[in-house]
Amino acid sequence: MKSTLRILAAATLASGMSLAAQPTLAADKPVVRIPAPPPGKGQIVFFRTGTIMGAAMGCAVNEHGQKISSLGAGRYFILVTDPGRHEYTVKSEARDVLALEVESDETQYAVCKIKMGIMAGRPDLRPSTEGEFAKSSTDRLVDADDMGPGPGALRPAEVAAALAAQGGSTSASASAAPKP
């Protein structure tokens, strides 16, 4: 019994030392830059963390029944839209609705998380913050192939062009550090 406890204590101590020697994710995480919305428009950065829960399941964001884009784990997209009230939906075995009041020249954030369901994961779409986006493991734009016909979602080339026009990086994958 004592030898088992000693082995357990040694293993715990060893694992603690090895974890402390690891670099932090925040230091290694690529900086993501988000361009400002076009004048007179607002925008929403929809993102999904890179967590394991529901990693194989997409989170398709819709407005007025039309797909805007699907969010895979660790992905984001930017939706440019007119100011006003908008309702976005996600669904699998359950449906979730997020209503946002978009203002001109404003950037909002929304996160989709996958929760436990009976047969499949349940998408949960909720308001978020720039800080939560910056801390998340979200660092890749959604591929243009995953975007739907719904208007307003910026394709990677459009994000790169907007950043270049604002004097930022033109790399779509490294595109988006939070605005000051």
Q: pLDDT digits over 22-33, tens only?
A: 333 445 666 789
Query: Is 22 part of any domain?
Result: no
pLDDT at 27: 53
Is 143 contained in some domain? yes
- Contact residues for 150 (Cβ-Cβ < 8 A; gap 6+): 62, 63, 64, 66, 67, 68, 69
At 99 the pLDDT is 96
Q: How many domains does the chain have?
A: 1
At 46 the pLDDT is: 96
pLDDT tens-place string over residues 43-52: 999 999 865 5
Q: Return the pLDDT at 177.
A: 39
Q: Please check whether residue 8 lies inside any domain of the structure.
A: no
- Rounded to an integer, what distance in angstroms lies between the CA atom of residue 68 and that of residue 112? 14
Q: Is residue 107 part of a domain?
A: yes
For the cut 50, the answer to whether the pLDDT of residue 5 exceeds it is no
Q: Is the pLDDT of residue 10 over 90?
A: no
pLDDT in tens, 80-116: 999 999 999 997 666 789 999 999 999 999 999 877 5
Q: What pLDDT, on a 0 to 100 scale, did the predictor assign at position 171?
A: 45
Domain range holding 42? 33-165
Average pLDDT, the chain: 76
pLDDT at residue 9 in the model = 39
CA distance 111 to 133: 8
pLDDT of residue 22: 31
Residue 139: the pLDDT is: 86
* 138-164 average pLDDT score: 89
Reported confidence tier of residue 176, pLDDT bands at 50, 70, 90: very low
Q: Is 3 inside a domain boundary?
A: no
Domain membership of residue 52 (yes or no) is: yes
Instruction: Judge whether 58 lies within some domain.
Output: yes
Residue 11 lies in a domain: no
Query: What pLDDT does 108 receive?
Result: 97
